[in-house]
């Protein structure tokens, strides 16, 4: 909170008491970025071609979204597991990143005193969005050991009818996975609760609820997807909400008419048309993940790897020191110091095999090789 005292125009009390989501976002260019679970090699060449062919009037006029919803639908329907039922374009909301979708969902559905149910620890942007609405957050810890999804506790908390249940699947940062039929079971148990499934990382482990979702039968289910982490468009900001048309409509009501810019739209069309590129990147990450986990196991280093393109490692030295030393060596990772259940760990995003081999070489040299078994 700012130390500046009035007089200055006072915001709403919820905003005055807010701890904004802050992440160390500057000075990351040129380094090996394993700190934000981003795509580490950049988007498809088709995206770069489309961007460099943008004509001047495309920038001078307000963005147009014609055909984008259809392109998202075609892309989702072509996925190996497909869709549980055919979707219409009005079931796709377009947002300025999933961050903006989360903000809009909570803005549209959460009022002062309403409950937001989620797990802990989880993605750090849910809490400030709930806080700015004055919602009451109930965050249920994961089951230990192993960070299991606290299914029974969440199921029972649903009897208090929270306005929103936020499920991050797989969960960032613990990788906790929840099977699609369990997501449906929770949504079925709480028809008056909006069950939002943030599937930002589902491509890496494949637990999406979309192959079994029927939004007509279950209008309280909403799925969030992004082109940030797999397709490599994090810098352009574009994400989607998929659900019942009435819910997508309500969530879209609290956004501006042109919140998603035309450059992001052009990039999204190109990225969606080159799914083989994204699939190849995801396959490379999975291979690198397998290799890194086998090295951690072989050297007896405490770690936790489950869903997503990231894992947790507990260094023997202070986590802040290891994070700083890695940075000096040109590698960024995220310290999880102070977070419940994972204090003392580093979250390391997975890139290509070559990148993870570089990480490993530096990590081992920093972790006082003599102390490694
Ligand atoms: C779980 C989760 N949801 C949403 C986001 C934000 O996604 P986007 O870049 O599409 O706004 C992130 C980014 O780190 C995330 O980890």
Full pLDDT tens readout for the chain, 373 residues:
455 666 788 889 888 888 777 776 778 888 999 999 999 999 999 999 999 999 999 999 999 999 999 999 999 999 999 999 999 999 999 999 999 999 999 999 999 999 999 999 999 999 999 999 999 999 999 999 999 999 999 999 999 999 999 999 999 999 999 999 999 999 999 999 999 999 999 999 999 999 999 999 999 999 999 999 999 999 999 999 999 999 999 999 999 999 999 999 999 999 999 999 999 999 999 999 999 999 999 999 999 999 999 999 999 999 999 999 999 999 999 999 999 999 999 999 999 999 999 999 999 999 865 455 5
Q: CA 365 to CA 320: how far, in whole Å?
A: 16
CATH of the domain at 268: 3.40.640.10
Atom number, ligand 1, closest to the C-alpha of residue 122: 1
The per-residue pLDDT for 3 is 57
Kindly state whether residues 220 and 317 are assigned to the same domain. Answer: no
Kindly state whether residues 116 and 260 are assigned to the same domain. Answer: yes
Q: Is 61 left (phi over 0), alpha (psi -120 to 50) or beta?
A: beta
How far away, in angstroms, is 134 Cα from ligand 1 center? 22
The per-residue pLDDT for 1 is 47
Kindly state whether residues 327 and 225 are assigned to the same domain. Answer: no
Tell me whether residue 298 is in a domain.
yes
Atom number, ligand 1, closest to the C-alpha of residue 201: 1
Nearest alpha carbon, ligand 1 atom 7:
98
71: phi then psi, degrees, rounded to nearest 5: -65, -40
- Give the distance, in angstroms, between the CA of residue 259 and the centroid of all CA atoms in the same chain: 19
Kindly state whether residues 226 and 317 are assigned to the same domain. Answer: no
- Radius of gyration of the CA atoms of the chain, in A: 21
DSSP-derived secondary structure letter, 258: T
Tell me whether residue 268 is in a domain.
yes
Tell me whether residue 50 is in a domain.
yes
Residues paired with 194 in a beta bridge: 164
Which residue among 228, 309, 347 has the greatest number of ligand 1 atoms within 8 angstroms of its CB, and so is best to mutate? Answer: 228
- Give the distance, in angstroms, between the CA of residue 360 and the centroid of all CA atoms in the same chain: 25
End of a domain among 255, 274, 293? 274
The per-residue pLDDT for 373 is 53
- Cβ of 119 closer than 6 Å to ligand 1, yes or no, is no
How far away, in angstroms, is 15 Cα from ligand 1 center? 22
How far away, in angstroms, is 228 Cα from ligand 1 center? 8
Atom number, ligand 1, closest to the C-alpha of residue 234: 9
Contact present, 248 and 93 (Cβ < 8 Å): yes
Tell me whether residue 6 is in a domain.
no
**pLDDT digit string (tens) for 314-344?**
999 999 999 999 999 999 999 999 999 999 9
Three-state SS at 309? coil
5: phi then psi, degrees, rounded to nearest 5: -95, 155
Tell me whether residue 175 is in a domain.
yes
End of a domain among 274, 308, 339? 274
Tell me whether residue 346 is in a domain.
yes
Closest-CA residue to 120 (of 187, 182, 176, 162) = 176
- Cβ of 97 closer than 6 Å to ligand 1, yes or no, is yes
- Cβ of 239 closer than 6 Å to ligand 1, yes or no, is yes
How far away, in angstroms, is 175 Cα from ligand 1 center? 14
Tell me whether residue 7 is in a domain.
no
Closest-CA residue to 371 (of 302, 292, 290, 294) = 302
Domain carrying residue 210? 45-274
The per-residue pLDDT for 19 is 78
CB atoms within 10 A of CB 216: 10
- Cβ of 202 closer than 6 Å to ligand 1, yes or no, is no
Kindly state whether residues 138 and 202 are assigned to the same domain. Answer: yes
Contact present, 314 and 303 (Cβ < 8 Å): yes
**pLDDT digit string (tens) for 153-182?**
999 999 999 999 999 999 999 999 999 999
Residue at token pair 């940030």: 228
CB atoms within 10 A of CB 200: 23
175's tokens: 């990788």
The per-residue pLDDT for 2 is 52
- This prediction has a pTM of 0.95
Q: How many domains does the chain have?
A: 2
Kindly state whether residues 267 and 294 are assigned to the same domain. Answer: no
CATH of the domain at 35: 3.90.1150.10
Kindly state whether residues 233 and 363 are assigned to the same domain. Answer: no
How far away, in angstroms, is 219 Cα from ligand 1 center? 23
Q: CA 295 to CA 357: how far, in whole Å?
A: 10
Q: CA 133 to CA 110: how far, in whole Å?
A: 6
Q: CA 92 to CA 89: how far, in whole Å?
A: 6
Tell me whether residue 2 is in a domain.
no
How far away, in angstroms, is 23 Cα from ligand 1 center? 12
Q: Residues with Cβ < 8 Å from 185, sequence gap 6 or more? A: 155
Closest-CA residue to 345 (of 317, 308, 373, 370) = 317
Q: CA 101 to CA 255: how far, in whole Å?
A: 9
Kindly state whether residues 53 and 89 are assigned to the same domain. Answer: yes
- Cβ of 267 closer than 6 Å to ligand 1, yes or no, is no
């Amino acid at each position: 909170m700012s130390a500046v005292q009035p007089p200055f125009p006072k915001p709403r009390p919820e905003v005055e008491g807010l701890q904004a989501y802050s992440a160390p976002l500057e000075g990351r260019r040129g380094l090996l970025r394993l700190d934000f679970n981003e795509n580490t090699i950049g988007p498809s060449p088709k995206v770069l071609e489309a961007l460099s062919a943008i004509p001047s009037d495309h920038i001078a006029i307000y963005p147009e979204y014609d055909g984008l919803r259809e392109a998202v639908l075609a892309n989702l329907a072509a996925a190996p597991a497909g869709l549980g039922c055919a979707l219409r374009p009005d079931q796709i909301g377009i947002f300025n990143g999933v961050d903006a979708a989360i903000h809009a969902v909570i803005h549209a559905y959460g009022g002062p005193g309403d409950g937001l149910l989620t797990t802990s620890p989880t993605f750090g942007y849910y809490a400030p969005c709930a806080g700015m609405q004055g919602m009451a957050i109930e965050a249920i810890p994961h089951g230990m050991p192993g960070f299991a999804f606290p299914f029974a506790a969440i199921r029972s908390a649903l009897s208090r009818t929270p306005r929103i249940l936020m499920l991050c699947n797989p969960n960032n940062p613990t990788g906790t996975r929840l099977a699609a039929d369990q997501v449906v079971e929770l949504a079925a148990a709480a028809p008056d609760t909006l069950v939002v499934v943030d599937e930002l990382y589902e491509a890496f482990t494949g637990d999406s609820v979309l192959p079994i979702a029927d939004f007509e039968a279950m209008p309280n289910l909403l799925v969030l997807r992004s082109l940030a982490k797999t397709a490599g468009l994090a810098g352009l900001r574009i994400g989607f909400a998929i659900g019942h048309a009435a819910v997508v409509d309500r969530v879209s009501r609290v956004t501006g008419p042109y919140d998603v810019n035309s450059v992001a739209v052009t990039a999204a069309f190109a990225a969606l048309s080159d799914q083989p590129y994204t699939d190849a990147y995801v396959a490379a990450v999975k291979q690198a993940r397998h290799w890194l986990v086998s090295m951690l196991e072989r050297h007896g280093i405490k770690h936790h790897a489950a869903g997503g393109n990231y894992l947790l490692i507990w260094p023997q030295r202070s986590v802040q020191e290891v994070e700083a030393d890695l940075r000096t060596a040109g590698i960024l990772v995220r310290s999880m110091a102070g977070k419940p259940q994972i204090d003392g760990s580093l979250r390391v995003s997975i890139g290509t095999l070559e990148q993870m081999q570089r990480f490993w070489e530096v990590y081992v040299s920093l972790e006082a090789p003599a102390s490694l078994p």
